[in-house]
Structure 1
Amino acid sequence: MSMMVNSPLFDDVDILAGALYAWCAERSIKLHSQEGLSAANVAINLYEAGYQTQDRLLGALHEHEFH
């Protein structure tokens, strides 16, 4: 059984992970913290709303108000 490494699903995960890791690193936030998990949820929602490149998604995360 072989896996398709260049599938659209892996592209989605790479975009989401790249933007999220960059956002967390900029703020010295651990991904598994409450803030990191909150940002992951926001990133998924933003991605589904059309921010589907790493740069656009990271920019949208920068503009999002986190509480």
Structure 2
Amino acid sequence: MSMMVNSPLYPDDVDILASALYAWCAERNVKLQSQEGLSAANVAISLYEAGYQTQDQLLGALHEYEFH
């Protein structure tokens, strides 16, 4: 599955995304490489592009997102 990104991600962007995603995965004991971890990564990127651009904002939005 390919993913289209609207704007380039810079190292600082990746750091924010990774930090929030690793924290979310650790809280739920989910491996990033699992289906749930990959789904969370896709959601995190979408949320970041929607304006959740700090680790705290992104992690809070991930907490509120309902994964199926």
Q: TM-score scaled by structure 2?
A: 0.86
> Structure 2: where are the runs of 5+ without partners?
1-8
Deviation at 1:41, TM superposition (A): 0.2
Paired letter, 2:57: R
Larger radius of gyration: 1
Paired letter, 2:46: N
Paired letter, 1:56: Q
Aligned counterparts, 1:1-67, within 5 A: 9-67=10-68
- CA-based RMSD of the aligned residues comes to 0.9
Identity of aligned residues (%): 83
> Structure 1: where are the runs of 5+ without partners?
1-7
Deviation at 1:43, TM superposition (A): 0.1
Deviation at 1:37, TM superposition (A): 0.1
